[in-house]
Amino acid sequence: MATSEHPSKLLTFLESRKNLTGSACGVVGLALTFTGVAGAYWPVVVAGLYGAGALIAPPERPAPPDFPDPAARLDALRGDFAELRDYLAEVDVPPVAAARLTRLDELLAALLDPGWAAELLAQDPEALHALARAVRQDVPEAVDTFARTRWWTRIAPGQEQPDRHLERQLDLVHDELTTVAGALRETEARRQETHTRYLEERNP
């Protein structure tokens, strides 16, 4: 293990900015030696110039993380939405909750459609986060919790029916995503108003 790390560290040092800059300055020192300027102290001159070059070299800057761009995150979210749809198709929920799920499905499908909404979402990290949370956490957790709680209610009746909790949770998710859609609409409206003002100022 150690023997494989040493060559890697040595190669990293040889390719570093400090070594390259110091080596360039050291070459200058050799040139001074060949021209007779350095004299008998040429080793000190070469070493000094190398050290000075290494000191003035800019520090190494690690490469930033290569996170996926918004378009890639949207594509991944669409795939997760399709998986969520497959899951919901297998779950038995009461008619009222099923209607709320259908309404929520239509809203999510519209927001994730690869059209104008996707362009706005790619520029709004908070809206994209809200959609991802709804698809990957809020909706599946609400439905799964309902299914498990309903099972316990059947074998231990007398408790509060889980249907109302599910309906309320789906309403809250829908309200949040409706707010997201409204914010995206306002963004487009402001863009339109800005263009109108531009045309008015250009044509007084």
Digit-coded pLDDT (tens) for 71-125: 788 888 999 999 999 999 999 899 999 999 999 999 999 888 877 677 788 788 8
Residues 14 and 111 occupy one common structural domain = no
Check pLDDT > 70 for residue 139: yes
In a shared domain, residues 79 and 157: yes
Own/partner pairs for 51-55, CB < 8 Å, 24+ apart?
A: 51/22, 52/22, 52/25, 53/18, 53/21, 53/22, 53/23, 53/24, 53/25, 53/26, 54/18, 54/19, 54/21, 54/22
Lowest mean pLDDT among 44-48, 56-60, 187-191, 199-203: 56-60
Looking at per-residue pLDDT, the higher value among 25 and 112 belongs to 112
Note the pLDDT of residue 43.
66
Per DSSP, helices labelled H in the chain are 2-14, 17-34, 42-56, 70-89, 95-112, 116-121, 125-133, 139-155, 162-202
Note whether 131 and 111 are within 8 A (CB): yes
Domain stop point among 10, 31, 56: 56
- Statement to judge: residues 106 and 29 lie in one domain: no
Span of 33-37, 137-141, 181-185 with lowest mean pLDDT: 33-37
Q: Could you tell me if 174 and 83 lie in one domain? A: yes
State pLDDT tens for residues 150-201.
Answer: 876 665 565 667 788 999 999 999 999 999 988 888 888 888 888 888 888 8
Please state the rounded mean pLDDT for residues 6-23. Answer: 59
Specify whether 94 is located in the same domain as 46. Answer: no
**Contact in structure between 82 and 112 (CB atoms under 8 Å):** no
Q: What is the pLDDT of residue 71?
A: 74
Q: Say what the pLDDT of residue 143 is.
A: 94
The count of structural domains within the chain is 2
Q: Could you tell me which of 146, 109, 114 has the C-alpha nearest to residue 131?
A: 109
Report if residue 41 sits inside a domain.
yes
CA distance linking residue 17 with residue 23, whole number of Å: 10
Do 34 and 91 sit in the same domain of this protein? Answer: no
Query: Would you state the pLDDT for residue 3?
Result: 46
One domain, residues 91 and 32: no
In a domain, 61, yes or no: no
Select from 14, 29, 56 the last residue of a domain: 56
pLDDT of residue 4: 47
CB half-sphere exposure, 177, CA atoms < 13 A: 25
Predicted confidence band at 16 (pLDDT cuts at 50, 70, 90)? low
Determine the structural domain holding residue 92 and report its residue range: 70-202
Q: Which residue has the higher pLDDT, 38 or 17?
A: 17
- In this prediction, residue 1 has a pLDDT band, given cuts at 50, 70 and 90, of very low
Same domain, 112 and 175: yes
